[in-house]
């Protein structure tokens, strides 16, 4: 699958992750309908792509000491930063961000396993 299609599929998968998360976590809301979810997913993806690796490297010692559990806190902080940058996304507190980041990750992983990867295999056989 070409790069552009992968990015688009990934973007939609994260937007769907936000949709599921807003339905299950009362402290997270996205306003603006489909456009709000897509903008939120795009900014969250950029925050994760730009700041995520740097922060993971800087916090590597504490991540090792906590056996990787600090990465959950880091993901919550990255989600909170995305909420700060995107007016459509509101998060009521740290614990909402913490649970939301975990849920977005799980939903995105599941959608990649059951939708994106089969789509990629189907398109590569053409």
Quote the pTM value: 0.89
pLDDT digits (tens, 9 = 90+) for 24-67: 999 999 999 999 999 999 999 999 999 999 999 999 999 999 99
> Is residue 49 a contact partner of residue 7, using CB atoms and an 8 Å limit?
no
Residue 126: its pLDDT value, please? 63
Q: What is the pLDDT of residue 115?
A: 82
**What's the rounded Cα separation, in Å, for the pair 58 and 96?**
24
Residue 47 half-sphere exposure toward CB, CA atoms < 13 A? 21
* 4-24 pLDDT tens trace: 888 888 899 999 999 999 999
Q: In this structure, what is the dihedral angle of CA atoms 78, 100, 82, 67, given to the nearest 10 degrees?
A: 10
Q: Which residues pair with 126 in a beta bridge?
A: none
């Amino acid at each position: 699958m070409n790069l552009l299609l992968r990015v688009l599929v990934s973007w939609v998968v994260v937007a769907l992750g936000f949709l599921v998360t807003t339905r299950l976590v009362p402290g997270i809301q996205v306003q603006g309908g489909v456009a709000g979810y897509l903008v939120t997913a795009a900014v969250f993806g950029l925050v994760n792509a730009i700041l995520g690796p740097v922060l993971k490297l800087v916090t590597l010692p504490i991540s090792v000491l906590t056996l990787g559990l600090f990465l959950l806190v880091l993901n919550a902080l990255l989600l909170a930063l995305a909420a700060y940058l995107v007016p459509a996304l509101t998060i009521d507190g740290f614990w909402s961000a913490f649970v939301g980041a975990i849920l977005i990750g799980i939903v995105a992983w599941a959608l990649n396993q059951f939708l994106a990867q089969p789509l990629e295999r189907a398109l590569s056989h053409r």
